[in-house]
Amino acid sequence: MSLSSPFDSVLPHYVLHLADNALVLGHRNSEWTGHGPILEQDIALANIALDLVGQARYLYQYAAKLAGNELTEDSLAYGRDAWDFRNCLLVEQANGDWGKTILRQFLFSAWQLSFYDRLRESRDSELAAIAEKSYKEVIYHLRWSSEWVIRLGDGTEESHNRMEKALDQLWKFTGELFVPAEYERSLGTTGVAVDVEALRTPWEKKVGEVFAEAQLAWPHAAGGVAGADARRDAAGAAKSAWAQTGGKDGRHTEELGYLLAEMQFLQRAYPGCEW
Amino acid sequence: MLSVVDLGIIREVREDGRDVEIVLTPTYSGCPAMDVIRMTIRMELLEHGYKNVKLTTVLSPAWTTDWMSERGKEKLTAYGIAPPLPSQQVSRPDLFGRGQAIECPHCHSYHTSLISEFGSTACKALYRCEDCKEPFDYFKCH
C-alpha cells in the first residue's frame, strides 16, 4: 500500500509518525508479556504497552479519518510495510535485556512527556485532545522508567555495566527525536505540530538529572579519546551531536522488519480476520 | 457494583424520544474494557426500548478520578480496593513514591507501601499493608 497517494495533505503523515512511534514501542514492550523478571514488573510493562497501543489507536483512527477513503486503523497498523512506517529509530530497537528495554522506555518517555505537553496546545483540536489524554499516562511511564534507570544504574556492578552497554547501543538513536522531518517542517508555522528542536533542552535536563542519580556518565564525556582535554571534549561533542536518522522518513534499521513480520503475520495471512 | 456513572466516564446523555446519544470517555487510552462497556450500554438501551443508540467517545477534557462519585468510592472500599486520593496528588514527578500515604481498605492503617505502580489493570496500583500484611489494589488518582 502506498501512502503518498491517499493523502493529499501533510497532516496525515505527521499523525502517522506519532501513531507509529506509539504502536512500535507498545509492541516492543508487549514482547515482554509473560517474560518479565518478576510478575509485578511484567504487568507494569504490559500496562505501559497497553497505554501506548491505545494512544496509537486514536492516532490511527484520526489518520484514517483524514484520509477519508477505505483506510482504517487496522489497515494502517497491519497493512503497511517498513518503508511506510515513520517511527523514530529508537522505538524499534530490539528489547535486549531488561536494562536496555528500561533505558529505551526512559529515553523515549522523557521526550514524549515534553512532546505531548506541547501538543496539548496544538491548533488541531483532535491532536490536542489525544495529547491531553496521553500526557497523563506518560507521567507514569516516565516515573516508572526513571526509577528503574536509577535502580539499575546505581545498583550492582553487573546492572551498572549493563546499563552502560545499553546506553552505548541506544544513544545514537536519540538525536533523531529532535530533528524535524519534512512534514514537521512544513507544518511548523501552522501551530499544529510541535517544534521538536525546542524539546532538546528540557529533555537533556531531565535525562541528565536521572543519569546523575543513576551514576551513569553523560555520553558527552564518554568520548573515549585519550590525550588532551580539548581533544577529548571535541570528540565527546562530536559523538553527542552525531545522530542516526532516517526512521521518520521510512528508512529503518533491520529491527523493524522482524517486528512487523510478527505483528502483522495474522492480518497478512488472513486479511480482515476477526475473532 | 461500580457503575459507569459512578466511575465518571459517562460525560453526557442526550435523549430525544426513542433516540439517545451517550457521550463517554475512556479512563486510560488503552483500557481494554471500553469495547465491552460500549457494547453493554448499547444492548441495555436497546432492551429498554430505545431505537437509535449513538455512542460518542471524547478524549478532552481527559478523564480524572475526581469525576468518580462518592458513592463509587464507597463501593470500591467495600470491595477491598482503596479509592483514589484527590488529584492534587497526581502528576508529582517525585520518584519512589515519596510522600504518598494510602489507607488500607481492610484495616484502615496508613502504614502501607507501594509494590508496583501498575496493578491488575492500568487504573490501579498494587500496595501492601504493613500492619495487616494484606496486599490490596489502589485505584490510583489520575
pLDDT reported for residue B87: 63
CA distance B17 to chain A (A): 30
Q: Quick check: B87 contacting A, CB < 8 Å? A: no
Q: Is the pLDDT of residue A241 over 70?
A: no
Identify the band that residue A274 occupies on the pLDDT scale cut at 50, 70 and 90. Answer: confident
- Where residue A217 falls among pLDDT bands split at 50, 70, 90? very high
Cβ contact A9:A183 at 8 Å: no
Closest partner residue to A139 (CB to CB) among B63, B91, B116 is: B91
Range A116-126 average pLDDT: 96
Average pLDDT over residues A106-113: 98
Q: Residues of A near B (CB-CB distance < 8 A)?
A: 40-41, 43-44, 46-55, 57-58, 125, 128-130, 132-137, 139-140, 142-144, 146-147, 150
Q: What is the DSSP string of A122-168?
A: -SSHHHHHHHHHHHHHHHHHHHHHHHHHHHHHTS-HHHHHHHHHHHH
Distance CA A117, CA A110 (A): 11
Q: What is the structure's pLDDT at B140?
A: 82
Question: What values do phi and psi take at B130, rounded to 5?
Answer: -80, -10
Domain boundary assignment for chain A: 11-269
Find the residue in A nearest to B27 (Cα): A133
Tell me which chain B residues have a C-beta less than 8 angstroms from the C-beta of A142: 93
Spell out which residues of chain B touch residue A58, defining contact as CB-CB under 8 Å.
Answer: 29, 59
The more confidently predicted of residues A168 and B87 is: A168
Tell which CATH architecture fits domain A11-269: Up-down Bundle (1.20)
Q: Give the model's pLDDT for residue A230.
A: 44
Sign for the pseudo-dihedral over CA of B58, B61, B64, B69: negative
B60 neighbourhood in chain A, CB within 8 Å: 125, 128-129, 132-133
User: Which grid coordinates belong to A208?
Assistant: 541528565
User: What integer pLDDT is reported at residue A223 of this predicted model?
Assistant: 40
Query: Over the stretch A147-176, which tens digit does the pLDDT of each residue have?
Result: 999 999 999 999 999 999 999 999 999 999
Q: Which of A27, A143, A209, A275 to mutate to test the interface with B (most CBs of B within 10 A)?
A: A143
Helix, strand, coil share (%) of chain A residues, nearest 5: 70, 0, 30
Please name the member of B60, B94, B118 whose beta carbon is closest to the beta carbon of A129: B60
At residue A240, the pLDDT reads 52
